[in-house]
Amino acid sequence: MPRTVRDVVFVDGVRTPFGKAGPKGIYHETRADDLVVKAIRELLRRNPGLDAKQIDEVAIAATTQIGDQGLTIGRTAGILAGLPQSVPGYSIDRMCAGALTAVTSVAGSVAFGAYDIAIAGGVEHMGRHPMGEGVDPNPRFVSEKLVDESALFMGMTAENLHDRYPHITKLRADEYAVRSQEKAAKAYANGKIQADLVPISVRRTNPEAGETGWGLVTADEPMRPGTTLENLSGLKTPFRVHGRVTAGNAAGLNDGATASLIASEDFARENNLPVKMRLVSYAFAGVEPEVMGYGPIPATEKALAKAGLDISEIGLFEVNEAFAVQVLAFLDHYGIADDDERVNQYGGAIAFGHPLASSGVRLMTQLARQFEEQPHVRYGLTTMCVGFGMGATVIWENPNFDGGSK
């Protein structure tokens, strides 16, 4: 019997505040799976009309699936969050696009009819598990020159992208980074971010004072409001002597988790759940691993073609800021100005942080919030580059679209 493809919607999304990785970071003594648990519980708290027994799947991404990020974290975090044991779960890995891939994976199952509603998200505790921990790259990659050795180091791939686009200078990347910090600070000041943050209680140790105590985290730790070009101009270029990539024009090493509810539109409306975005299309694309930051360009081309849309019809962009050069290459390709008001209206990962596998859902929650505020915008997209040479793009439709009248 032929099946009818169902409309898929983004019901809701939340995230923990993002922290700096390492001993001084807010989550140094907090487990990765506990961050996921907090996000899942918050989704259920915010949507009391959803019976947890109705959840068909829990898909949670992690890039480094080891320790407290291992053990099929979608399943274990679901149990720890208090979901019925009848709710299954699994883990997923597409490096930076982990949570984005969790969303598209469950979305495919919803469209097919296998699921009605699912939880999709991601976590990365880069303080406990640095990217690449425990991996053993096959020596053939380098010995047979399948990839350049720089492909294994994301910062080096960003320098390679600068080489490919020499007109994207360090100054231009720094200028973009300053704007990201300014937009994020403005978004916080206007209360645009806090509504989707899950407060996290954390245990903190101050070895110098010999003290241990508890605190409540309610804001992103990596943000550097007041950043200036002068501040950024003197930063070291750790990936290349006289390079262009610095800690100021790239996302840092971070900890954090995200979670979202993805459902069929019929199910959401029948159960009085919000419909914040409607899925239009998505696509993944591979590129040379040495210039992985180029990935969003072909991924977006594919997603647009599948949707029958032109880039001019996209009214809002959430582009993950792994590196400023990667966003600028994307904007240049489409003839979009560096300061175009449609792009990353609340700021991006350069300010908020980029806990790898969790970031895709952050892009979605921010786009959903903008859709609510801007009913004249019909389409938006979330896109990101992915380690080892990939790009990922999801195009969304605004269910609040009013025909374009402002």
CATH code, domain with 377: 3.40.47.10
Residue 146 lies in a domain: no
Q: Dihedral (C-alpha) 115, 12, 342, 190: value to the nearest 10 degrees?
A: -170
User: In the predicted model, is pLDDT for residue 394 greater than 90?
Assistant: yes
In a domain, residue 136? The reply is no
Active-site residue, selected from the candidate residues 28, 125, 129, 385: 385
Q: How far apart are CA 70 and CA 64, in angstroms?
A: 8
Between 25 and 211, where is the model more confident? 25
Per-residue b/e over 219-242, b at no fewer than 16 CB within 10 Å?
Answer: ebbbbbeebeeeebeeeebebbee
Identity at 328, one-letter amino acid code:
L
Q: Give the containing element (helix H, strand E) for 110.
A: helix 98-112
Query: Catalytic residue among 96, 125, 129, 162, which?
Result: 96
Contact (Cβ atoms closer than 8 angstroms) between residue 398 and residue 391: no
- On whether residue 405 sits in a domain, the answer given is no
Decide the pairing of beta strands 277-286 and 254-264.
unpaired
Identify whether 117 is part of a domain.
yes
Kindly state the average pLDDT of the residues 281-289.
97
129 is known as an active-site residue? no
354 is an active site residue? yes
Better pLDDT: 148 or 404: 148
- Per-residue pLDDT reduced to its tens digit, 318-377: 999 999 999 999 999 999 999 999 999 999 999 999 999 999 999 999 999 999 999 999
**pLDDT-based confidence at residue 50 (cuts at 50, 70, 90):** very high
Residue 165: inside a domain, yes or no? no
Confidence (pLDDT) at 106: 98
pLDDT at 209 over 60: no
Q: What is the pLDDT of residue 212?
A: 75
- Read off the tokens for 263: 């459902």
Q: How many CB atoms lie within 10 A of CB 363?
A: 26
pLDDT in tens, 78-108: 999 999 999 999 999 999 999 999 999 999 9
51, 116 contact by CB (below 8 A) = no
Task: Say if residue 299's pLDDT is above 60.
Answer: yes
Over residues 19-30, the mean pLDDT reads 95
pLDDT of residue 152: 86
Question: Does the pTM exceed 0.85?
Answer: yes
Establish if 149 belongs to a structural domain: no
Which position among 167, 333, 354, 376 bears the catalytic label?
354
Cα angle: 179, vertex 317, 397; to 5 degrees: 150
Rounded Cα distance between 285 and 306, Å, is: 13
Task: Give the count of domains, the chain.
Answer: 1
- pLDDT-derived band at 2 (thresholds 50, 70, 90) equals low
Asked whether the predicted pLDDT for residue 44 surpasses 60, the reply is yes
The residue segments making up the domain with residue 347 are: 6-128+175-225+231-237+244-394
Over residues 216-227, the mean pLDDT reads 95
In a domain, 84, yes or no: yes
Assess if residue 355 is contained within a domain: yes
